[in-house]
Every structure is written in structure tokens, then in C-alpha cells.
Structure 1
């Protein structure tokens, strides 16, 4: 997969067989994602988002409700916790909240620092749809 943000290797997420046959590729260094396929065979490259708008809150039966963790990639929190059945919630993980996991906050900051400044513009990552 083309490495358009930081030049490092992207990893393909394991996907369940589906009608759309979409693949998701993510960089384990800067966490840039590329979605390939789908009904219209698109290449979607979400743009850079600041830390407070980039991560969903992780939810799972085994996570403490007193600490808010950021859902990362490959079914782990940014701080590395992996619990069966973990998923992203419908809510943002807010690093400035008092109950935000400190290790997730540190990881989110480090990941944010890895995005080159030149790639942070709204139109820096080009998405492509197949023309019929």
C-alpha cells in the first residue's frame, strides 16, 4: 500500500467477508489510514485531524469506566490495552478531560508529532473514486 504521509509501511486490517470488500490499511507509526474498495471502489484517505478530533473512546466490558482510553488501531487502545470485544464508541476521546488515560494522551501526542506539517492541510491526502 502506498505510504503517502510518513513513508513507513502500512498494515492491512483483517476484514470480515462483506459485499463491499473494503480493505483498511493503517500505518503503525503515524496512524494514517487508507480505505480501499467498497461499492464504488474508492481510495479514501482521511485527512489529518488534531488530537481532540482524531480518536474515539474505547469501550469494552473489561475496561475501567473511571478512565477514558483512546481506541487506536488493531483493536487496542493507544496505551496498548487489548480486551476481547473492544470497539470504538460513538464519542470522541478527549485528551484534556480529567479522566483521560495519561498513557493514551502521551501516545496521541507522539503520534500527532509524527505527521509531517506539510501533510496537515485539509486537501493534502487525495481520495479517488473509480469513474464509471
Structure 2
């Protein structure tokens, strides 16, 4: 990186319906769609043994969605700067001596 300028790469912005998979586990309430988050928890904080993401997106517009997962997803989405939501959102920064 001997140049004066370089780019910091960020993950691309994804809409809510393309960011999380639906959580699956035996202990989750049937008929409620939870978003699989990190550390084997749903976005609303539920942790069940053997929980995993499914092969399907968690779709926040569905009627069976967990309200607390939706609220957490909205908070996370609101933190993403509007100016950084483009496909090629990169920032050039000067290297400090």
C-alpha cells in the first residue's frame, strides 16, 4: 500500500429482507418467524440449543414475523448511513505518516 490514497471497503448495504435468514430450532414458537442473528441468537435475543439459520430469508413484511426481531432489525438498519447505502460505497482516506 505504498500509495498516498487507498480505499476502505465496506460490506454492501442490503435491505432488511436480504440481510438475515429465518431462525430454526425445536424450541422456537411455531408460527412465529424469527431472524437468525449472531452468536446463535435471534435478533430479539432468544437462544435455543441447535438453533441455526434456515435456507430461507427472514422476511420482515410477513404477518408471522416476531415484532421484537423487526424492531431490532429496524434499529440496525437505521444505523447504516444513508450516504453509504450504494453498491460501491467506499471511502478514500489519506495515509497518515
The aligned residue for residue 58 of structure 2 is 93
How many corresponding residue pairs? 84
Which has the greater radius of gyration?
2
Would you tell me which structure has more helix in proportion to its own residues? 2
**CA RMSD, Structure 1 to Structure 2 (Å):** 1.9
- Structure 2 residues not aligned, in runs of 5+: 1-7, 92-97
The aligned residue for residue 40 of structure 2 is 75
- TM-score (normalised: structure 2): 0.78
Higher relative contact order (CA 8 A, sep 6+): 2
- Structure 1 residues not aligned, in runs of 5+: 5-43, 127-132
Residues in 2 aligned to 1:107 and 1:86: alpha-carbon distance in whole angstroms = 19
Q: Structure 1 residue runs of 4+, over 2 Å off?
A: none
Query: Deviations 1:50-81 (Å, cap 9, x if unpaired)?
Result: 11111110001111121000001111100000
The aligned residue for residue 65 of structure 1 is 30
